Every structure is written in C-alpha cells, then in structure tokens.
Structure 1
Amino acid sequence: MSNAPASQTLSSDAARERLRELIRDLAVVRGHVILSSGQEADHYVDLRRITLHHEAAPLVGRVMLDLFDREGLLNGVQAVGGLTLGADPVATSILHASAADPRTTGLDAFVVRKAAKAHGLQRRIEGPDVTGRRVIAVEDTSTTGGSVLTACEALTEAGADIAAVAVIVHRSDASREAVEQAGYRYLAAYDISELEI
C-alpha cells in the first residue's frame, strides 16, 4: 500500500470526480444568502470548506493543474494567485501540487492585496516577484468577475503577463463575460450544474 496522498495516486478522472463529490457534499449551503456581488441566491457554494479541507485541498491543486495541462498552459506559466482571501488557498494548493507533479518544474504562488501596504516594502502583490512572469489569476468561484479582475489590474500594473483566469467552480455567465470582455481567457474546473444543486 502506497503512502502517497490520494491526490497523487488517483487518475485525473478519479481525482476530478472525488473533488466534485466533496464540493457537492461539503460546500453547497442551501438557504437565502446575499453574495459579495450584492446579488441574492437560494444557495451558496462555500469553497473555503474545500480549499481548507485536508482531503479536498490537495485535490484542488491536482484538478487545477490537470485543467491547465488540458488547456495547454501547464508549461510556460510560472506563478498563480489572486485577490486575498478567496484565491489564497487555491494558489497554495496549486503550488504544493506542482511541486510534486513531474509535468511541471513547479509554480510559485502570490497574494494580491486589496490595497498596497502602507509600511515595509509597500507591496500590493506578496510573494515572488511577478514582473515579466507568465501567471494565471485564480479564484475559488466568481459571480461577477470583480475580485479576479481587481487582481488582474494589480498584476498588469506590476508587469505580469496574464495567461488566463481560472476558477474552481464557474457560477455565472456574467463572470465569464466580464473576464473575456477584459481580454482574458477564462477557465473553470467545474460548472455549477455539475454540483447537482
């Protein structure tokens, strides 16, 4: 019996299916909620219950790497990250998965602050420098695209080359349209319809 984590031993299809099951069972919260966009919904997909879960987080990294690979982005991209807080555990999961994945030489992660720090190095983007590097802006899910586009704006100002925007769960066409209208490629590991809500 192998001591390797399931995220490394499962086939790509099995890893994707197991993560889908975990999202469906752990992250879907039913009931009236107000989303960060201000829109109302009768359910909420709380992906922090996934990105901070002991079994699911490694699967997030694996599934996102598989997505990047299918889309021809695994090689050439050097770092992933997005607007704090939703993107942070997504980027960290990808960072750890890439370190263990022979298909990559490893991806760095970065954190985009909502505003630059007023002290220290006064950086808006924390982690390895993104200037001149090819990056993917990530988010757990998006309704309007606002958070990830805020991250893209900061990345552009810092001189990063944005290869794509990628989310774990595609929630609304408004998000895809906003991202594509801003000139970025939009990728999602799952569509909301796959969660059987």
Structure 2
Amino acid sequence: MNFFDKLNAAIAENNSLLFLGLDPNPEMMPYTRIEADIITQLRDWLQLLIAQTSHLVCAYKPTLGFYQALGVRGMELLQQTLQAIPAHIPIILDAKHSDLNTSTIFARTVFADWQVDAITLSPYPGQDCVAPFLVYPGKGVFVLCCTSNPGAIAVQQYPSAESPLYLQIVKEAKNWGTPEQLGLEVGTISTDVLSHIRAIAPERILLARSIWAEGGNLNQLLAAGLNANGNGLLIPVPQDILSSDNPSTQIQSLRQEINQTRERVTSEGSRCSVWLPDVCLLNQPPYLDLILQLYDIGCIAFGNFVQASGAIFPYYIDLRKIISNPQVFEQILSAYANILQNLSFDRIAGIPYGSLPTATGLALRLNYPMIYPRKEVKAHGSRRLIEGNFSAGETVVVVDDILISGKSAMEGAEKLKSAGLNVNDIVVFIDHEQGVKDKLKANGYCAHAVLTISDITETLYEAGRINQKQYQALAEG
C-alpha cells in the first residue's frame, strides 16, 4: 500500500484529518519527574501520546530536528518512537531536507532503514533534490511552499503579492511528482494563501502548519483548504493540547468540529461546475459551445509561448486541462467519435503524452482496443517500443491533440509502421492550419481535424470573448 492510500485508509478508519507532531520538546511535557532522566521521560510521554491518540489521528509527524538536538540518545529515541507507532498509521518525517549532495543516501535511510512513509522537503534545490525520494515506490514527499513566520514574507511574496514566489513553487512542484507521490506543506493563517494554493493544486494533499496561531479562523481555513470532497487537508493537533492532562478528550472534540465543517463543505460544494452558454450567434458555427468552454476554462492563453516544435506563438492552447472537466471532455470525445466512425481501423493509438487520456476515452466509448508508441524506450523491463497488444498487418488510427508541425504525430505513426502496423489516418482536435495536412498527405497520411484555429478565432471574436488584438494574435499565429 502506498503512502497516500495508507493515509486515506487512516482518514477513513479514524474519521479524522488530524495529524499529531511527535516532538521531544521538554517544554511541552505536562510534568517532569526528578528521579528520571529527560530522555526517558520524553520517551514515556511520546509513547503515551501515541497510545492515547492512535484512534483519533490520521498520521504522526516527528520533527527530525528535535531528535537531532538531543544527540545520539535523541536519535535512539526517534527509533523507539517510530517503532511505537501502529503499522496502519502513516509516518511523515518532518525533515525539510534541502541538501542535494546527501539526498540519495538520506532517502535510503529514511525510507529503507527507518521505514517512514513520507518526508517533508525544501523546494529551493529544485527537482534534483526531490527526485531521489520519489524513486521509492509507495513513499510520499511534501514540498514546503509557504511558511507563516513574518520574516518569510519578503521572500515568499516576491516579486509581488499578485505573483508571489510561493505560488510559483506550487506550480513547479506539481511537475515534480504525481498527486500519488507529492503533496504540499503550507504554513499559514491566511485563508487567501490557502485558497490560492488550493485553486492551483486542487488535486494535491496539503499538510497544514501554524494554523493555530493568533488570528487564525479554523472554519474559514477549512473552507479554503479542503477539496470539494471535504478531504485533501491535513490539520495539526494544537501543541497546547499535548501539554494537557487529557489530550484525547480535546482531540476528539476538535475532530468533531472539523468533521462538521467537512460535511458542510461536501454538501455545499460540487465536484465539477456546470458550464452554461451565455451567447446566441445568428449563424451558429459547429461546436460553438465547445469552443467557448475551452476558452472559459482557461485552455487558451495569450503571451509569448514556445511550442514543442520550437516556434514562438502569441498564444497557447493547453488541452491537458480538459481531463479535469468531465463536461468538456465528454463533448471532445463525441467530436472525435464523429470523425472516427467514418474511418476503417482495428485499433486506436494515442500519441504520448497529451492525447493518451483522449485515446483511452475513445477506446472505451467506441469499444476498440488501444495501443500507443512510447515517447522513449525504457532501459529496463520489456523495452517495448509499442505498448499494448497488436498483430502485424492491423490498421491503426492515430489520435493526437493539436497539429502544429505534425512532428509528434508523424513520429508516432512511423514507430507504429516499424512494428508492422498500417497507418492511414491521423485525427486531431485542432489544426493550426500551417500547411501540415498537405505535408502529412505527401507522406501517405490523411489528416482529420475537429476544429481549425480559424474556427476558434472567429467564434471567440464574434462571441465577445476576445478583443481585436487577441483576434489578430490568433489569426496571425
């Protein structure tokens, strides 16, 4: 069971989003015994906390620095603490590791030797520092993207409050690992900060910190940080509760308060927003609603963008967002299917990576088997160039997303042909009208497109979605 599955299982079993910090801080102990040494007292206290709370929390989070500060005996205490945690409760080691040179050996230590389930990492060394931890199957990482201490504001809000560094970290970290591998650590009492991060990373688990500082509002923070299912936010048990004589009673009350808010968020929220048309054109073009939806959900952006072909366009069309909007995705599959039903083929082949979700959806809808040519051949395993089962001599229709230079579609088709398959047709969603259809035809392929860039340009302009400058950028692109 991987970390996030284990975490979700613990959340469900204990009906709790609370995690508990297991930090050997003598100042936090409710009492001390003169006759016993401090390490022994810390061990007994931490193990008592585990025994009292294992049915109330979803994870434990020991902070490595506290144990290191106690020297050799502190590291021995860490091992004793880890061993006392029930096997079904995940362990998140709070290390904030940031040293690139020791990442590989440290990852082996914490995951292979100590058997913790996840670790917190600093973002500043970038993906190179995170990668050694992600090679361990089933383990997780949390990348620190924001802290609440006042001195961090000058760094985290740079260069401006509208485009702060901490949000750039969120955007970058999402590219380092999947939601099943990587979450985000967020220290804040600001609902704005939490809601901005949640908006950019709706699929990520957020490890909250410092939310109990003065000025924090639990219900507002929960509303900002929870996902539409009332999950996705791990909440720390307040430290002052750990110093009380009966922490389990207070944690149980806090869990109940949090769950009430979770229920409200779930009942009030919706998994997916429903788009409704707001214009009516006299001469309604085909796929009017679909084009408007693509714009409204942010699939079309303006600026200077380098395409995969190397060309610089004054706009960018990002179809990867459609998989998060079932309403749009369904319409796109229908549009592809209208073309495919008039073609003759035995299998559907998606071009990695952008069109694989679409090819999968079409295979399920049309009941055709799917294969795909690998973008790169693995250096291990079967080293197959084509994934999926097929027989030489079969005819394959290639499904791609956007036709700009035709390079990816043609390379994919050539790989399929090298395996003994026949490729006659290439179907794309958008043709940029750069003369690529003729190029493909000269190479023996017939290209089909659901939409052209002209269709999109004219529709958006007539509907008032784009201005004259944006219209020209699309038309001249």
- Give unpaired runs (5+ residues) of structure 2: 1-283, 458-473
Counterparts in 2 of 1:126 and 1:180: CA distance versus 1, 3 Å: same
> Residues 4-23 of structure 1: matches in 2 within 5 Å?
16-23=287-294
1:33 maps onto 2:301 in alignment: no
CA distance in 1, matches of 2:326, 2:303: 26
Moved over 6 A (4+): none
* Residue among 166, 176, 180 paired with 2:427: 166
Q: Which amino acid aligns with 2:327?
A: E
Match of 1:136 among 375, 394, 397: 397
Larger Rg: 2
Bigger shift: residues 177-186 or 122-131:
122-131
Match of 1:181 in 2: 442
Q: 1:88-167 to 2 correspondence within 5 Å? A: 88-98=356-366, 106-129=367-390, 131-167=392-428
For residues 15 and 37 of structure 1, what CA distance do their matches in structure 2 show? 29
Deviation at 1:124, TM superposition (A): 1.1
Describe the shift of the 1:184–1:112 C-alpha distance in structure 2 as closer, same or farther (beyond 3 A): same
SS in 2 for 1:55: helix
Structure 1 position 133, deviation (Å): 1.8
How much has 1:51 moved relative to structure 2?
A: 4.3
Distance verdict in 2 for CA 1:84–1:165, change over 3 Å = same
Instruction: Give the 3-state SS of the residue equivalent to 2:401 in structure 1.
Output: strand
Deviations 1:111-139 (A, max 9, x none): 21122223222211112325322111111
Q: Secondary structure at the match of 2:392?
A: coil
Whole-angstrom distance in 2 between the partners of 1:48 and 1:169? 13
Query: One-letter code of the match for 2:402?
Result: T
Post-superposition offset of 1:96: 2.5
Q: Distance in 2 between matches of 1:46 and 1:18?
A: 17
Greater RCO structure (CA 8 Å; 6+ sep): 1
Q: Where is the strand percentage greater, Structure 1 or Structure 2?
A: 1
1:159 offset after TM fit, Å? Answer: 1.2
Whole-Å separation in 1 of the counterparts to 2:397 and 2:323: 17
SS at match of 2:400: strand
Over 3 Å counting, the alpha-carbon distance change for 1:15 and 1:97 in structure 2 is farther
Query: Does 1:87 find its partner at 2:355?
Result: yes
1:60 to 2:332 alignment: yes
Paired residues, number = 175
* Residues 144 and 178, structure 1, Cα contact 8 Å, conserved in 2: no
Q: Which moved more, 1:112-121 or 1:177-186?
A: 112-121
Q: Distance in 2 between matches of 1:125 and 1:161?
A: 14
Which region of structure 1 is more displaced relative to structure 2, 158-167 or 109-118?
Answer: 109-118
Mapped contact 2:427–2:448 kept (Cα < 8 A): yes
**2:305 partner letter:** V
How has the CA–CA distance of structure 1 residues 58 and 96 changed in structure 2, closer, same or farther, with 3 Å as cutoff?
A: farther
CA distance in 2, matches of 1:134, 1:154: 13
Structure 1 stretches of 5 or more lacking a match?
Answer: 1-12, 99-105
Hey, what's the Cα distance between the residues in 2 that align with 1:172 and 1:156?
26
More helix by share: 2
Separation in 2 of the partners of 1:29 and 1:144? 20
TM-score (norm 2): 0.35
Cα distance, 1:39 vs structure 2: 0.5
Counterpart of 2:275?
none
CA shift, 1:179, in A, is 1.4
